[in-house]
Chain A
Amino acid sequence: MGSSGAAQPSGSSRPLLVLAAIVAVLPLGLPNAYTYEIAILVGLNAITCVGLNLLVGYAGQISLGHAGFFGLGAYGSAILAARYGWPAAVSLPVAVAAVGALAWAIGRPILRLRGHALAMATLGFGIIVSIVLATEDRVTGGPDGMAVPPLASFISGEKTWYWLVGGALVASVWMALNLIDSPRGRALRALHGSEVAAGALGIDAAAHKLSAFVLSAVLAAAAGGLAAHYAGFITPANASFLHSIALVTMVVFGGMASTFGAVLGAAVLTTLPQLLASFKDYEMVLLGAVMMLTMIFMPRGLVPTVERALAAARRRPE
């Protein structure tokens, strides 16, 4: 089965192997702990973006509050581990499951909304979460944050975390690709294409939107939980509006409806501010300028633009 423009070739595991290879080989090019830290951050954002992309790029919904799920996963695991003494290996999955349940509960009513109303509802959710996290300081430590116990005694140090997060990323991408290429994945894309025609084929729009919402929330919460135990410390900024916007920007930047686009977008937009940090005062100006210019010249995002360029090059007779 050849590849056809935007339709992802089924069963093709080549891109996934490339990703796995990159993850495996990258450490050779990372000179110090700081670069490992950035790579880990990229991985965590990428996991979140892969989930968000399922919701935004494939199911065609919108979420401007996804950092809320990230923050809840982080704080959920942190609180269970730090305040109640649970081992992190238990607190993390429990927190993630709890966030999934929450997403299921609030998803039912708000996914009935469309377009801007949905954007507003998810935005409101994210803001509510970040305010609650910052205000309930007896439990959460307030705006100054709280300390988080390590994941396990044998998981410490940049290198171990790198492999953990890298493995989690490859696993997430693998599952996302499987989902997209399955009947459920087609149902999701069908919903995005035409909700009314999907209904006429027996696809329950509300149920599918909800499952995409919950799945993306679960991925965000897992990434948040890992981030908390990795850093050993979390603050409500993890759930901030700006973080939510950054996540959506990564997905659009990389190219919506492209899992690898989500990973690439996360990679570029996580490392870019770090690279620009050396410009100190000019960091924000440069970041904003880069975002604007790339979106103006690559309106469909990185991966689709590159795909199109490659397809055009292939068609050109030599």
Chain B
Amino acid sequence: MLLRAEDLSKRFGGVAALETVDLELERGAVHAVIGPNGAGKTTLLNLLSGIYRPDGGEIFWENESITGRAPHEFAAAGIGRTFQNLQVFFNMSALENVMAGRWLHERHGLAGSLLRLPALARAERACRDEALALLEGVGLGRWALARADSLPYGALKRLEIARALAAEPRLLLLDEPAAGLNAAETRGIDELIRRIAARGITVVLVEHNMKLVMEVSQHVVVLDYGRKLAEGAPRAVSRDRRVIEAYLGSEACST
């Protein structure tokens, strides 16, 4: 078990965004978290990446409790993520965004940084090459030197993924990676997620796009009003009456 969350709760003022949610993430699988808007999906991701502290419950990473640690410590443990509202570094180029993602695997002594010691210069070149390879892996190779704020929306979604991958995470949390993308772009994301999973990275996918969820995930968790409504294999969950009533029923009409 890579990650285990027990009894997670998070409250904002009087509103319970998440209430006693248990979660177990198997290594190497693609897990999906679905549910209506406001169900607590992003809150869950924010708890799993350390951005929020839970009001109740604990998070275990490889059987060690990491509850209450700072976000950068969650990242150092091996948890990476992308964001529902893009958090691209618009003040840098696409390449520099991904290079920034290599932080956990770089040497960063202050003296070396200020004096540009030869070891650091060599490491910089290697970092650049690795970042370029990652960009090409998501199909953004030709945008490498462009400033991030000049990239189209679909490219930015993929840039965030490349940047998150640069940190070599063991668990990758994707918050609505296909939001706002057309059918062709969504197929691209689908393929990208499969390739990521094939590399052994555990994925948690928050998505509204049911087609993508059904095709790519092995395990689905359904949230509703902050509680876990159902979980299981995609087929089983999609046939669950409670899930259809709460979510899929209306979804089937609107998609």
Q: Interface on A for B, CB 8 Å cutoff?
A: 1-2, 4-7, 10-11, 175, 178-179, 181-187, 189-190, 192-194, 196-205, 211, 257
- Are the CB atoms of A179 and B87 closer together than 8 Å? no
Q: Would you call the interface of chain B mostly helix, strand, loop, or mixed?
A: helix
Interface: B151 (CB within 8 A): no
- A252 → B minimal CB distance (Å): 16
Q: Would you call the interface of chain A mostly helix, strand, loop, or mixed?
A: helix
Residues of B within 8 A of A6 (CB): 91, 147
Residues of A within 8 A of B71 (CB): 196, 199-200
- Are the CB atoms of A193 and B72 closer together than 8 Å? no
Residues of B within 8 A of A10 (CB): 124, 128
The 6 closest A-B pairs by CB, nearest first: A193-B89, A199-B71, A197-B87, A202-B75, A182-B113, A183-B106
On whether A202 and B124 interact (CB within 8 A), knowing A192-B91, A193-B90, the answer reads no
- A284 → B minimal CB distance (Å): 35
Cross-interface CB contact of B89 among A181, A194, A257, cutoff 8 Å: A194
Q: How far is the CA of A316 from the CA of B117 in the complex (A)?
A: 40
- Are the CB atoms of A197 and B92 closer together than 8 Å? no
Cross-interface CB contact of A178 among B107, B115, B166, cutoff 8 Å: B115
Q: How far is the CA of A168 from the CA of B80 in the complex (A)?
A: 42
Q: How far is the CA of A211 from the CA of B111 in the complex (A)?
A: 12
B74-91: CB near A (< 8 Å → 1, else 0) gives 111000110100011111
| Inter-chain contact total with CB atoms closer than 8 Å | 129
- Are the CB atoms of A194 and B108 closer together than 8 Å? no
Interface: B236 (CB within 8 A): no
Q: How far is the CA of A197 from the CA of B114 in the complex (A)?
A: 25
On whether A7 and B120 interact (CB within 8 A), knowing A197-B88, A202-B72, the answer reads no
Residues of B within 8 A of A181 (CB): 116, 124
Cross-interface CB contact of B147 among A2, A4, A192, cutoff 8 Å: A4
- Are the CB atoms of A197 and B102 closer together than 8 Å? no
Interface: B2 (CB within 8 A): no
- Are the CB atoms of A196 and B87 closer together than 8 Å? yes
Residues of B within 8 A of A204 (CB): 70, 72
Point out which of B95, B100, B120 has the most chain A C-beta atoms below 10 A from its C-beta. B100
Interface: B104 (CB within 8 A): yes
Interface: B164 (CB within 8 A): yes
Residues of B within 8 A of A200 (CB): 49, 51, 71, 74-75, 80-81, 83, 87, 164
Q: List 8 A-B contacts (CB under 8 A).
A: A6-B91, A178-B113, A184-B113, A189-B92, A196-B83, A197-B83, A200-B51, A203-B72
- Are the CB atoms of B113 and A190 closer together than 8 Å? no
- Are the CB atoms of A199 and B114 closer together than 8 Å? no
